[in-house]
Amino acid sequence: MKTNQILVRYGELSTKGKNRSSFIGRLRDNVRQTFSDLKQIRIKAERDRMFITSDNEQELAQVIERLPFVFGIQSFSPVTACNLDMDMMKKTAEVVIAKLDNTDKSFKVSVKRPFKAFPHDKLEIMKEISTYVLKEFPNLKVQMKNPEIDLKIEVREEAVYMMAEVIKGAGGLPVGASGKALLMLSGGLDSPVAGYHMLKRGVRLELIHFFSPPFTNDRAKEKVYDLAERLSQFGSSVNLHIIPFTNLQQEVHKQVPDNITMTSTRRMMMRVADLVLAETNCRAIVTGESLGQVASQTLESLQAINAVTNTPILRPLIATDKLEIIETAQQIDTYDISIRPFEDCCTIFTPANPKIRPKLEKVEYYENFVSFDELIKKAVAERETIKFPRTKVDQFEGLL
């Protein structure tokens, strides 16, 4: 007997009708990307489920560890195979059950028998295996409806397959199934969580970060690198665009009254993002804004910021409170990165008394004293683009 296969159950893909095959193909590609460093795995995608196989135990352990972060998967189970022999099937069932918490649990055996030439019918298999398992694990009790342990047995021509452990998947849609958007990644708590929610809905991400040296330092940039690396672990690579923002930000502070510089700065970011979006074939801009959390996130501020672009702006956290955002950040392992004490360009230049209800006409009036167009184009042209996940060579580049 050997455990060398993972059975993957699809999530929302089961509702996609005629588009089902394209969603399954996208999920297969994302799984292949996630495990591109594992050389012995084989992936087979069928209409109702996917199989990931490897004879390398270490690789299979890596699959089980990483698969819960790939969107589009409802659940998955390690599968143990054995020969077409009743005594071997009993021993295999014992091994499968022994790996689970089986103390005082309810239990049943479910059997599929597509190989009709097997000498034992379904009821006989259920009776033989159940009797043996209950003898080996007397704390189990039989329960046919909604048991805590459901030992599934499938008898095929080449082997018998068994599984009982069901591991929860990430759910959602395969990344890339819903198009591509540009995430404004600040380095704080909110934007990575916003990115996570968009990835879960099948949106492939490009990332944009505004960097203002010498006011922000390389440690702040490295923090953003680490967040980008984390976001690339959910089934798809991402590109991070680092925008040199110092000149634009300083020009805003020269031309615009201090109490509305935050609004104007966000408007400049949107104008930069629009140009990057056009070059990367994205369909929307994603932000981590939550209504009323700070001065730039009131309805009046958001209206003034939106007015500078016709691009759809998606705000998945708009009705989410900070505690909920923190909880999600902890679940997806971005919290400890985001709270590192290295400030981004928005934090460094925050005015003492920002307007919480800026008037659009006043913001536009002060911005009209100077043309920002050339500064915006220059920032986009001089941006640095880095692909994640980084290889080990990428991570250590520049240290020698």
Whichever domain contains 29, its CATH number is 3.30.2130.30
Answer yes or no: is 162 a known binding residue. no
In this structure, the answer to whether residues 188 and 51 fall within a common structural domain is no
Q: Last residue of a domain, which of 123, 147, 168?
A: 168
In this structure, the answer to whether residues 190 and 158 fall within a common structural domain is no
In this structure, the answer to whether residues 187 and 160 fall within a common structural domain is no
Element (H, E) at 289: none
CB 168 within 8 A of CB 199: no
pLDDT at 399: 44
Write the burial class of residue 360 (CB in 10 Å: 0-12 exposed, 13-18 middle, 19+ buried): middle
Answer yes or no: is 120 a known binding residue. no
In this structure, the answer to whether residues 101 and 142 fall within a common structural domain is yes
Distance, CA of 260 to CA of 385 (rounded, Å): 30
pLDDT at 2: 84
Mean pLDDT of the chain: 91
Q: Residue 397 domain-assigned? A: no
For 308, list phi and psi in degrees, rounded to 5.
Answer: -85, -5
pLDDT at 350: 72
Distance, CA of 201 to CA of 171 (rounded, Å): 9
CB 1 within 8 A of CB 88: yes
Record the tokens describing residue 352, joined without a space: 């003492």
Q: Residue 174 domain-assigned? A: no
Answer yes or no: is 288 a known binding residue. yes
Q: Last residue of a domain, which of 168, 198, 224?
A: 168
Distance, CA of 261 to CA of 276 (rounded, Å): 23
In this structure, the answer to whether residues 162 and 194 fall within a common structural domain is no
In this structure, the answer to whether residues 217 and 301 fall within a common structural domain is yes
In this structure, the answer to whether residues 97 and 215 fall within a common structural domain is no
pLDDT at 47: 84
In this structure, the answer to whether residues 13 and 155 fall within a common structural domain is yes
Answer yes or no: is 209 a known binding residue. yes
Whichever domain contains 300, its CATH number is 3.40.50.620
Q: Residue 395 domain-assigned? A: no
The tens-digit pLDDT sequence of the chain (400 residues) is 788 999 999 977 666 667 788 899 999 999 998 998 999 999 999 888 899 999 999 999 999 999 999 999 999 999 999 999 999 999 999 999 999 999 999 999 999 999 999 999 999 999 999 999 999 999 999 999 999 999 999 999 999 999 999 999 999 999 999 999 999 999 999 999 999 999 999 999 999 999 998 888 889 999 999 999 999 988 889 999 999 999 999 999 999 998 999 999 999 999 999 999 999 999 999 999 999 888 788 999 999 999 999 999 999 999 999 999 999 999 999 999 999 988 776 666 677 778 889 999 999 999 998 899 999 999 999 999 999 998 654 554 544 4
Q: pTM of the entire structure?
A: 0.86
pLDDT at 1: 79
pLDDT at 395: 52
Q: Last residue of a domain, which of 142, 168, 194?
A: 168
Q: Residue 24 domain-assigned? A: yes
Answer yes or no: is 100 a known binding residue. no
Q: Residue 399 domain-assigned? A: no
In this structure, the answer to whether residues 254 and 325 fall within a common structural domain is yes
Domain count, the chain: 2
**What is the chain's length?**
400
Domain that holds residue 41: 2-168
In this structure, the answer to whether residues 29 and 154 fall within a common structural domain is yes
In this structure, the answer to whether residues 201 and 328 fall within a common structural domain is yes
Answer yes or no: is 184 a known binding residue. yes
Answer yes or no: is 13 a known binding residue. no
Q: Residue 79 domain-assigned? A: yes
Cα 221–203–279 angle (5° rounding)?
65
Q: Residue 279 domain-assigned? A: yes
Element (H, E) at 224: helix 218-231
In this structure, the answer to whether residues 77 and 190 fall within a common structural domain is no
Provide the 10 A C-beta neighbour count for residue 141: 12
CB 205 within 8 A of CB 273: no
Q: Residue 343 domain-assigned? A: yes
pLDDT, tens only, 86-133: 999 999 999 999 999 999 999 999 999 999 999 999 999 999 999 999
